[in-house]
């Protein structure tokens, strides 16, 4: 019994780490730039297809596909922000929503057209590898994905904290006019931010590809999970995204086992409602005055 | 917007449209029926977004609630469908008022409010999926129509019947919205949308007024959901309460134009046929996902080049309404 | 008798005390001015009285009824109308429509509210602009619109927050005259002002705030010569004379 639940919990936490990477990406876009990126989940799916495609073509494992996906999505995010989304930074939120929903629809549609609606799974020997530690079995794929995610999150964290550009981005997000006045190149910085956010999503997607069958319509779920984590954890809070991701991953795993697989989202949405109503700044966020 | 010219145009249009079933074939009738349906929901959603300024991305909750209310009433209680319409309105309005009251009471605005509405819709969907009484995931099926079916009793008939029914529904909802917007509540809604705190300082009971917008918007949406149930003959939680439906419901009013009374109708006229066309094209060449690309592209074009929708420039061109 | 009475009014933001233990009253039918240097807490007082902000402590009595903690729309319904320091017209609507929103508080039909709104606009001289968009007005007219919106709610107490700011002397005098006329008809007015000419000309009572506390209350002559007041505006040791507009 203990062993069973132990494995469920570990599995959930490992997935949670990848969720945390996904949420960190959204945090960067929504938390820092305040852009309502409702296409975040679709970017994950792009990453998943990159992961699947690379595997199908060259047999490359997820750890190799992740940087490729990250680069591709970084470019997409940068270009999109620079040439389209930057106009919407000051726009009313519902307009931003529509913009991103439009992108999400187009990307989902393109996936369906090019890859077909059927799920594609990665079946490889690696899928069945397991690390054993006492009575707990660590699924190799999940463990690698979790470790990679944590590394990426830490790297991003450090970059924002210690690099000049990272600090400039935070400054620019807090005070756009002030930032421009002292020479920060806002359009470029925001594009960079968007690129980083998308890159996180893409990497998470590639890491997750061996775990779930990829199909075009997964985007919506990922987007909502990302928003739930970001809000529960706290906007623009990197520890919040980490804790939130682990929490949601754990909760979903337990809910799926204890109640029913299809009910796992019930907890997440319920938590979202409670947080929005009672503690909108989330666990680690700052109260907006 | 209710000057004599508008009224004359509308009455003329209605008369022409009413003759539809005797002039058009079944397929076009069914497309137009969906146009009327989505135009009606668009007008309803517009009350929330365009007038009270609150973004709801979970309107499928009210649509599905109305649909299931009607569905359950007919299948489980064997009651005449006529009772389903006010019931659907009431159920929808109740949910709308609840979500609205919760949101406004806790001062939830913008994205957060939108996410709250999504969460409620998704919660409803998941719960209904596990509700055996309503058929769960397997769906709820209305009893098959018998040869001696009387459309005016069962509210289900051929395409001509539904065409008229939805045309009347659209006209009623449009009229209701027009009267509301021109009246006292319309002024209050616009004031709240412009500047809620300034409005409250001159006596506008902002929260009450926003909850009313939410309730009315949801109630009308519920009625449309009920009609959807009658037309489709079957209900599935995933299609009627899902995020996809929430997005489908709002595309027409956004494309057509928020905050206007003709925008949502124009939007539905543009979107629904596009929908049908892309579905046909996709089936012809077995490409799935085409509809999504088309929707996305249309939305993108609108948000980039005509963010207030197609109606305002069209209205200016036709010289209708006040010059803003 | 006092129409408005505030006792022990206090507002503390985390760490910062904006208003502390302020007591004053506004006599029915009078024009009272609330003055003090920037940051003295005058607008905060307005917000506390009108319900836009919750009091940390203290009571607000209006017409002998305790209205502490009432929402702004409720305070307005009781008869308190306030304007904002930075005017807030409803820009998507016309001037007339702006005022109709206020008039709808007391009138039942839109038609009656429109008539009432038009009357208010004529009274204060904005009648000609009734159908212009609110966003098309110049600053003095926006101030008048702000005033009209408040007046349309048929208040017993009109609270004006720096209505003269940014106006030229002739424009300010124009509004001052309108206020005098309204007061003559029985409207009680409480105004926050920096333009001392206007304060001396209009106010029968002046309340002075400094660092969130009341430091003086009384008639214009007394206030002008009160050493505490002079000190808070000009620093110690500098005499000042402030002469009213003839």
Q: What confidence tens digit (pLDDT) does each residue in A151-173 have? A: 999 998 888 888 888 777 777 76
Q: Which chains touch B (3 or more CB pairs under 8 A)?
A: A, C
What average pLDDT score do residues B112-127 get? 93
pLDDT of residue B324: 42
Is the CB of residue B214 less than 8 Å from the CB of residue B96? yes
Domains: count for chain B: 1
Query: How far apart are alpha carbons B222 and B95 in whole angstroms?
Result: 10
What pLDDT is attached to residue C243?
A: 53
pLDDT at C160: 95
Q: Do A84 and B130 touch (CB under 8 A)?
A: no
The pair of structure tokens assigned to C154 is 């048929």
User: What pLDDT digit, counting tens, does each position of B147-164 carry?
Assistant: 877 788 788 888 888 999
Structural domains of chain A, count:
1
Contacts of A103 in chain B (CB under 8 A): 296, 300
Q: What is the pLDDT of residue B8?
A: 83
CB-nearest to C76 from B184, B188, B202 is B202
Q: If you average pLDDT over residues A37-44, what whole number do you get? A: 94
The predicted structure's pLDDT at residue A182:
65
Neighbours of A24 (CB within 10 A): 30
Q: Are B247 and A106 in contact (CB under 8 A)?
A: no
Residue B138's pLDDT band (cuts 50, 70, 90): confident
Q: What is the ipTM of this complex?
A: 0.88
How many angstroms separate the CA atoms of A178 and A187, rounded? 14
CATH of the domain at B124: 1.10.3470
Question: CA-CA distance, B253 to C162, in Å (whole number)?
Answer: 42
Round to whole Å and give the CA distance between C232 and C39: 12
Cβ contacts of A99 on chain B, cutoff 8 Å? 300, 303-304
Question: Band of the pLDDT at A256, cuts 50, 70, 90?
Answer: confident
A62-83 and A186-208 helices, crossing angle to 10°: 150
CA atoms within 13 A on the CB side of B143: 16
Q: A95 to chain B nearest CA, in Å?
A: 7
Contact B195 C152 (CB under 8 A): no
User: For testing the chain B interface, which of C72, C86, C147 should be mutated: the one with the most B CBs within 10 Å?
Assistant: C72
CA–CA gap between residue C10 and residue A248 (Å, rounded): 43
For C109, the closest chain B residue by CA position comes to B184
Mean pLDDT of B212-238: 94
**pLDDT for the residue C242:** 57
Q: What is the DSSP string of B30-55?
A: HHHHHHHHHHHHHHHHHIIIIIS---
Q: What is the pLDDT of residue A178?
A: 66
Q: What pLDDT does residue C245 have?
A: 55
Q: What share of chain A is helix, strand, coil (3-state, %, to 5)?
A: 75, 5, 20
Of B260, B265, B254, B259, the C-alpha closest to B298 is B254
* Sequence-distant (≥ 6) Cβ neighbours of residue B34 within 8 angstroms: B272, B275
Backbone φ and ψ for A209, nearest 5 degrees, come out as -55, -40
**Torsion on CA atoms A90, A92, A94, A99, rounded to nearest 10:** -30
DSSP H or E run through C218: strand C213-218
Nearest to C76 by CA among C129, C26, C17, C149: C149
**Rounded CA separation C48/C20 (Å):** 12
Given A107, A111, A262, which is nearest B129 (Cβ)? A262
Would A233 be classed as within a structural domain?
yes
**Chain B residue with minimal CA distance to A225?**
B119
CATH number at residue A270: 1.10.3470
Of the pLDDT bands very low, low, confident and very high (cuts 50, 70, 90), residue A175 is low
What is the residue-averaged pLDDT of chain A? 86
Confidence of residue A210 (pLDDT cuts 50, 70, 90): confident
**What is the span of the domain harbouring residue A245?**
2-278
Nearest to B289 among A104, A117, A276 (CB): A117
**Residue A289 belongs to a domain:** no
User: Cβ B116–A224 below 8 Å, yes or no?
Assistant: no
Q: Do B184 and C113 touch (CB under 8 A)?
A: yes
Chain B residue with Cα closest to C152: B202
The rounded radius of gyration (Å) of the Cα atoms in chain C is: 18
> Of the given ranges (B122-131, B307-316, C53-62, C64-73), which has the lowest mean pLDDT?
B307-316
8 A C-beta contact, residue A201 and residue A22: yes
- Asked if A144 contacts A15 with a C-beta cutoff of 8 angstroms, the reply is no
Instruction: Flag whether residue B198 sits within 8 Å of chain C, measured between CB atoms.
Output: yes
Q: Higher model confidence: residue B15 or residue B117? A: B117
Lowest mean pLDDT among A20-34, B5-19, B234-248, C111-125: B5-19
Q: Which pLDDT band, with edges at 50, 70 and 90, does B108 fall under?
A: confident
Cβ contact, residue pair B194, C150, below 8 Å? no
pLDDT range class, residue A199, cuts 50, 70, 90: very high
To the nearest whole Å, the CA of B125 is away from the closest chain C CA by: 37
pTM: 0.86
pLDDT tens over chain C, length 246 residues: 889 999 999 999 888 888 999 999 999 999 999 999 888 889 999 999 999 999 999 999 999 899 998 999 999 999 999 999 889 999 889 999 999 999 999 998 999 999 999 999 999 888 898 999 999 999 889 999 999 999 999 999 999 999 988 888 888 888 899 999 999 999 999 999 988 888 988 999 999 999 889 999 999 988 888 888 888 777 655 455 555 555
Q: Specify the pLDDT at position A179.
A: 62
Residue range of the domain that includes B254: 4-143+150-318
C-alpha span between C97 and C114 (Å, rounded)? 8
User: Do residues A73 and A247 touch, judged by C-beta distance below 8 A?
Assistant: no
User: What mean pLDDT comes out for the span B58-81?
Assistant: 92
Give pLDDT, residue C227.
85
- pLDDT greater than 90 at residue B312: no
- Give the strand order in the sheet containing C57-62: C16-27, C2-13, C57-62, C65-66
Does B162 reside within a domain?
Answer: yes
| List of chains touching C (3+ CB pairs within 8 A) | B
Residue B324 resides in a domain = no
d(CA B95, CA B80): 23
DSSP letter for A27, please. Answer: I
Per CB distance under 8 Å, which residues of C are interface residues toward B?
A: 50, 52, 71-73, 76-77, 81-82, 84, 88-93, 97, 100-102, 104-105, 109-110, 113, 133, 149-150, 152-153
**Residues of chain A that touch chain B, judged by Cβ-Cβ distance less than 8 Å:** 30, 36, 84, 91, 93-95, 97-99, 101-113, 116-117, 216, 220, 224, 227, 231, 260, 262-263, 265-266, 269-270, 272-273, 276-278, 280
Q: Is residue B323 domain-resident?
A: no
- Tens of pLDDT along B250-292? 889 989 988 788 899 999 999 888 888 887 877 777 677 888 8
Task: Identify the burial level of C5 via C-beta atoms within 10 angstroms of its C-beta, where 0-12 means exposed, 13-18 middle and 19 or more buried.
Answer: middle
Is A285 domain-assigned?
Answer: no
- CA distances C66 to B112, C45, C70, Å, are 35, 16, 9
pLDDT digits (tens, 9 = 90+) for A82-119: 899 888 888 888 888 889 999 999 999 999 988 888 88
pLDDT tens digits, residue range B165-194? 999 999 999 999 999 988 999 999 999 888
Instruction: Tell me how close the Cα of B274 comes to any Cα of chain A, in angstroms.
Output: 15
Q: What is the pLDDT of residue B292?
A: 87
């Amino acid at each position: 019994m203990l062993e069973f639940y132990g494995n469920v919990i570990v599995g959930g936490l490992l997935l949670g780490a990848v969720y945390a990477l996904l949420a960190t990406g959204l945090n960067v876009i929504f938390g820092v730039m305040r852009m309502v990126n409702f296409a975040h989940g679709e970017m994950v799916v792009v990453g998943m297809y990159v992961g699947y495609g690379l595997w199908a073509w060259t047999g490359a494992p997820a750890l190799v596909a992740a940087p490729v996906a990250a680069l591709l999505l970084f470019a997409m995010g940068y270009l999109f922000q620079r040439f389209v989304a930057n106009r919407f930074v000051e726009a009313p939120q519902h307009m931003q929503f529509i913009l991103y929903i439009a992108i999400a629809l187009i990307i989902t549609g393109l996936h369906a057209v090019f890859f077909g609606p059927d799920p594609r799974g990665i079946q490889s020997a690696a899928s069945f590898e397991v690390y054993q530690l006492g009575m707990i079995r660590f699924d190799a794929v999940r463990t690698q994905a979790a470790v990679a995610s944590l590394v990426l999150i830490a790297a991003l964290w450090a970059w924002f904290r210690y690099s000049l550009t990272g600090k400039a981005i935070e400054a620019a997000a807090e005070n756009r006019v002030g930032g421009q006045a002292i020479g920060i190149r806002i359009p470029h910085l925001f594009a960079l931010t968007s690129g980083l956010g998308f890159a996180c999503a893409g990497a998470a997607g590639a890491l997750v590809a061996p775990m779930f069958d990829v199909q075009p319509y997964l985007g919506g779920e990922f987007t909502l999970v990302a928003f739930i984590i970001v809000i529960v954890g706290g906007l623009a809070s990197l520890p919040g995204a980490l804790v939130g991701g682990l929490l949601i991953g754990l909760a979903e795993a337990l809910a799926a086992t204890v109640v029913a697989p299809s009910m796992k989202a019930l907890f997440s949405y319920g938590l979202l409602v409670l947080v929005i109503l009672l503690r909108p700044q989330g666990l680690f966020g700052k109260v907006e005055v | 917007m209710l000057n004599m010219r508008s009224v004359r145009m509308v009455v003329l249009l209605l008369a022409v449209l009413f003759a539809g079933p005797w002039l058009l074939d079944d397929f076009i009738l069914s497309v137009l029926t969906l146009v009327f349906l989505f135009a009606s929901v668009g007008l309803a959603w517009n009350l929330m977004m365009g007038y009270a300024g609150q973004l709801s991305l979970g309107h499928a909750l009210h649509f599905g609630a109305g649909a299931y209310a009607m569905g359950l009433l007919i299948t489980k209680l064997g009651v005449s469908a006529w009772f389903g319409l006010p019931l659907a309105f009431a159920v929808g309005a109740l949910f709308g008022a609840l979500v609205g009251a919760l949101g406004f009471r806790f001062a939830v605005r913008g994205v957060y409010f939108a996410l709250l509405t999504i969460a409620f819709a998704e919660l409803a969907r998941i719960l209904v999926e596990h509700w055996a009484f309503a058929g769960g995931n397997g769906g709820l099926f209305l009893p098959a129509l018998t040869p001696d079916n009387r459309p005016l009793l069962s509210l289900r008939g051929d395409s001509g019947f539904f065409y008229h029914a939805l045309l009347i529904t659209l006209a009623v909802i449009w009229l209701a919205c027009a009267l509301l917007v021109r009246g006292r509540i319309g002024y209050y809604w616009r004031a709240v949308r412009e500047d809620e705190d300034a409005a409250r300082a001159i006596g506008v009971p902002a929260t009450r007024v926003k909850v009313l917008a939410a309730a009315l918007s949801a109630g009308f949406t519920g009625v449309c959901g009920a009609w959807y149930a009658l037309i489709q003959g079957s209900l599935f939680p995933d299609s009627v309460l899902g995020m996809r439906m929430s997005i489908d419901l709002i595309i027409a009013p956004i494309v057509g134009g928020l905050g206007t009374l003709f925008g949502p109708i124009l939007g539905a006229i543009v979107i629904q046929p596009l929908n049908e066309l892309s579905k046909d094209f996709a089936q012809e060449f077995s490409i799935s996902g085409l509809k999504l690309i088309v929707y996305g592209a249309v939305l993108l074009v609108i948000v980039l080049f005509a963010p207030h929708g197609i109606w305002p420039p069209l209205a200016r061109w036709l010289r209708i309404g006040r010059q803003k | 008798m006092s129409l408005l009475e505030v006792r022990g009014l206090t507002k503390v933001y985390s760490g910062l005390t904006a208003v502390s233990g302020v007591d004053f009253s506004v006599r029915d039918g009078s024009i009272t001015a609330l003055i003090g240097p920037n940051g003295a807490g005058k607008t905060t007082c307005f917000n506390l009285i009108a319900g836009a902000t919750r009091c940390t402590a203290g009571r607000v009595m209006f017409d002998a009824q305790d209205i502490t903690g009432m929402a702004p729309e409720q305070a307005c319904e009781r008869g308190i109308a306030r304007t904002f320091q930075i005017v807030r017209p409803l820009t998507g609507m016309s001037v007339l429509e702006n005022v109709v929103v206020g008039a709808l508080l007391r009138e039942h039909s839109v038609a009656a509210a429109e008539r009432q709104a038009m009357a208010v606009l004529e009274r204060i001289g904005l009648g000609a602009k009734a159908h212009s968009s609110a966003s098309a007005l110049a600053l003095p007219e926006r101030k008048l619109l702000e005033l009209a919106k408040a007046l349309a709610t048929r208040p017993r107490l009109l609270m004006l927050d720096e209505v003269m700011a940014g106006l030229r002397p002739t424009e300010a005098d124009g509004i001052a005259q309108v206020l005098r006329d309204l007061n003559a008809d029985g409207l009680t007015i409480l105004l926050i002002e920096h333009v001392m000419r206007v304060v001396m000309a209009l106010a029968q009572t002046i309340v002075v705030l400094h660092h969130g506390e009341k430091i003086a209350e009384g008639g214009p002559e007394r206030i002008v010569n009160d050493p505490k007041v002079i000190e808070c505006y000009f620093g110690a040791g500098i005499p000042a004379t402030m002469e009213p507009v003839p």
